[in-house]
A and B are shown apart, each in its own frame.
Chain A
Amino acid sequence: MARIGSLPAATLLIRAQRSPQIIGEPPGRIPPLDELVNSLEFEPVAQRKLDDAAFNAISGGNRSGFDHIVFRPRLMVNTQNLDLTTELFGDAMFTPILIGPASHQNRFHPEGELAMARGASAAQAAMVVADRSDHPVERIAAEAGGPLWYQAYPESDGHSLLSRIHKAVEAGCKAVCITVGTPYGQIGSNGYPRLSTLPPMGNPAFDWNYIDRIRRSVTAPLLLKGVMSAEEAKTAVKNGIQGIVVSNHGGGFVHGLAEPITVLPEIVDAVGGRAPVLVDGGFRRGSDVLKALIFGAKAVLISRPALWGLAAYGAEGVRTVVELLQTELARDLAMVGAANPQDLSRDFVKISRR
């Protein structure tokens, strides 16, 4: 009897020896893609895949502005014909979510922009190709099934810029975003900050004449990316600009720039429907995108979440991030009580001081 009794005793003994169960993620684990349930969860996975320098370039982002906007949801609105289709410059887009431009995406994935383009087209999203891509725009266009746009920095050498824009338009880019408000690179991107060797980026000697020159020689619609004030948006439209992208460039250049979502309403008002207004900066949730649409934005550019997806899982990661955001947006649109973005108005939100 005693011998039989020692068997379960020994089992417990063995159990007690086991290390306690680890709660949460073991450090460094790359979970299967299906385990991630929202775009924010891709950031820590990207961190595990990247070196510090690459990850620091795409970590974080400020989205506290969204916490001061609450919905006023309407009941009993039939949304069975829910439709997110958005028309921009003659292209019908599956949803108003585009993938924003980011330079040198080989930093995040060996296939860089090519994988990004594959993921974007798998999710039926348009992608904005960055001027400083690690792959030629023709090759990116060959990978992409969906529409492409092009983003360019206004360099001092207007000629080479124009030839690159022409090449991009030839390759199939449907619109061109000129980034404004980044005359120099990010502090620290060139070693410690020195006044004598500011890292070059855009064109410090930049004005409306310069933009005019570009506009006259580019056939594709021209957008200004980086507009943050109603006044400048108005001037831009007056100068023939066909679209505005409200952006603070991810907040990476200067501390203390306003959040794009907070200046969006007055810019939409100033533009008054003469040109589509897009926005980027801090969009991580379908509800964030919905708020921009409610304020009158035509579409939203997402950058960091797509890059997290790219770094963590390549094209499949990009696709999943974008699809998760599309699904969240559709869900929130139905619950706020609108069947499509055109039915939205500012009545659907309340600004909250808290």
Chain B
Amino acid sequence: MKQPERHRHGYVDRRESIRLLTGFLAGSPLLLAQQDPFRDHSRIPSIDELIDVFDFEALAYEKLPRSAYNYTAYGAAGEFTLRRNREVFKWIELIPKGVVNVSSIDTTTEILGTRMNFPIMVAPTAGHTALHPSGEAGTHEGCTAAAETPMIVSHAASMPIEEIAASASGPIWVQLYPSPDIETNRKPLEKAQAAGARAVVVTVDQEAAFYERALHDRNLAGRRSRRIRRPRRDLNRYRIPVKRLWYEWKLFDQLRSFINMPMLAKGVLIAEDAKRCIEHGLDGIVVSNHGGRALDYSPSSLEVLPEIVDVVAGRVPVLIDSGFRRGSDILKALAFGASAVCLGRVPRWGLGAFGPPGAQRILEIVQAELVMAMAHSGRPTLASIDRSLVRADLP
């Protein structure tokens, strides 16, 4: 008779309280954590604990949704070119000079009217809001904080270019995926110029690329791949999208009338194309295999850089991207005659791991690595970097 009465007043007997406590403990996430043998590996380190860019990749993997990480990681088809983009650095060795005054290292340069503190730019990559809510504005913030690194804003950016330009004071360039109706290209280019873009990079590779591993992601998400792919109307009879198959050289002449900023072509991999770029009045060339995301079994961009630099012969600046991760990687491209190196995945890892401060830190790390590499190889200025710095055994 007494017990229910005590209950009503908030008293719990000994047996009942032990039962409740046991239930609480058993269900607690703390207890669950004790059962995870890998818990040490899932600790998120602080930004100061990361010492090279590869440390950021693991962290971006931990923090991002799988699809956002994968989109950054993937290459086209069997990813031969994606792998080769990293392998090529093993085929090129640095031959340093030791007796050189390197008490001050000068890395400043100017490319097509844009002053840079380092020969390093951020390559155009799509959809940064998938990596961090601050999106491209956050990347730009990080770039500007990291010694005003110029950022090339992607045509597939997730926010308007005015907003990106307004987020920080550093220089921006803009990237264009040209549209077959030439007039359609006018608006984005004029908008970019009004927002302060100082050059336009026209991407002309990746005419029909396809990340087949992206289909695995859809499969993992419970959706079926080719059922999405098949009913599309913009496919030809071989089931490939036709929207970028129209590219022709006259495009550059047509675009020229819309802009009064320098124009570069991105995606060059052979010397003949570099020559034709100059014939068509382009102000610069970006040697690129689209980070291994265009034609699989393309060469790595670094292994074709020497022949392109030779044929360009200093008439226009030659930029390069695809596979660059370290300061020494950048030094190798500079030794072959590149004017600057663009980083695509690197700032994405930084932004994905820590947002704008991550983008800043990861760029600062690469910049510091470049300074160290220049100092240790006895090349205190960019002008002192030449092919005598490298011993290349290219295939």
Q: Measuring CB to CB, which residues of chain A are less than 8 angstroms from any residue of chain B?
A: 2-3, 5-6, 8-13, 16, 31-32, 34-35, 37-38, 66-67, 69-80, 82, 84, 95, 285-287, 291, 323, 326-332, 334-336, 350, 352-354
Minimal Cβ-Cβ distance residue in A for B218: A35
A10 touches B246 (CB 8 A): no
Inter-chain contact B205/A35, CB cutoff 8 Å:
no
Q: Which residues of A contact B206 (CB under 8 A)?
A: 335
Given contacts A73-B270, A84-B238, contact A350 B245 (CB under 8 A): no
- Chain A residues with CB under 8 Å of B84's CB are 70
Would A9 and B24 count as touching, CB distance under 8 A? yes
Q: State how many angstroms separate the Cβ of B240 from the closest Cβ of chain A.
A: 5
Residues of chain A within 8 A of B43, CB atoms compared: none
Other A-B pairs, 20, CB within 8 Å; known A13-B23, A78-B245: A3-B20, A16-B31, A38-B212, A70-B298, A73-B270, A76-B273, A76-B276, A78-B248, A82-B245, A95-B238, A287-B295, A326-B238, A329-B238, A330-B238, A331-B208, A331-B209, A332-B295, A335-B206, A335-B207, A335-B208
**Are A323 and B299 touching (Cβ within 8 A)?**
no
- Tell whether, in the assembled complex, residue B91 and residue A354 are in contact, meaning their CB atoms are under 8 Å apart: yes
Residue of A10, A82, A353 most packed against chain B (CB within 10 A): A82
> Residues of A contacting B210 with CB < 8 Å?
331
Tell me whether B77 and A328 are in contact (CB under 8 A). Answer: yes
Which residues in B have their C-beta under 8 angstroms from that of A11? 27
A336's nearest neighbour on chain B, judged by CB, is B295
Give B residues with C-beta under 8 Å from A.
12, 20, 23-24, 26-29, 31-32, 35, 77-78, 80, 84, 87, 91, 204-210, 212-213, 215-216, 219, 224-227, 236, 238-240, 242, 245-249, 251, 265, 267-270, 272-273, 276, 294-299, 395
Residues of B within 8 A of A8 (CB): 27
Question: Are B32 and A287 touching (Cβ within 8 A)?
Answer: no
CA distance A37 to B207 in the complex (A): 20
Contact B299–A330 (Cβ < 8 Å): no
Q: Lowest 6 CB-CB distances: which A-B pairs, in order?
A: A9-B27, A330-B238, A335-B295, A352-B395, A12-B27, A354-B395
Contact A323 B239 (CB under 8 A): yes
Contact of B247 with A6 in the complex, beta carbons under 8 Å: no
Q: Give complex CA distance A353, B303 in Å.
A: 12
Chain B residues with CB under 8 Å of A82's CB are: 236, 238, 240, 245
Closest residue of chain A to B250, judged by CB?
A76
Q: Give every chain B residue within 8 A of A80 (Cβ-Cβ).
A: 242, 245-246
Please, how many angstroms separate the alpha-carbon atoms of A75 and B273 in the complex?
A: 7
CB neighbours (8 Å) of B205 from chain A are 73, 75, 335
Residues from chain A with Cβ under 8 Å of B227 in the complex: 34
Q: How far is the CA of A238 from the CA of B238 in the complex (A)?
A: 37
> Which of B12, B27, B216, B269 meets A37, CB within 8 Å?
B216
Which chain A positions have C-beta within 8 A of B209?
331, 335
A76 to B27, Cβ gap below 8 A? no
With A287-B296, A335-B208 as known contacts, state yes or no: A76 contacts B251, CB within 8 Å: yes
Contacting pair B245 A2 (CB below 8 A): no
Nearest-neighbour CB distance to chain A for B181, whole angstroms, equals 14
Residues of B within 8 Å of A287, CB to CB, are 77-78, 295-297
| Structural contact, A32 and B224, CB atoms closer than 8 A | yes
Which residues of chain A are near B295, meaning CB under 8 Å? 71, 73, 287, 332, 335-336
B240 — which chain A residues lie within 8 A by C-beta?
82, 327, 330-331, 334
Instruction: Please name the residue on chain A nearest to B206 by beta carbon.
Output: A335
Given contacts A332-B295, A334-B208, contact A34 B273 (CB under 8 A): no
Q: Complex formed: what's the CA distance from A287 to B242 in Å?
A: 19
Q: Is the CB of A13 within 8 A of B238?
A: no
Is there contact, CB below 8 Å, between B224 and A354? no
Check B87 against A354 for contact (C-beta < 8 Å): yes
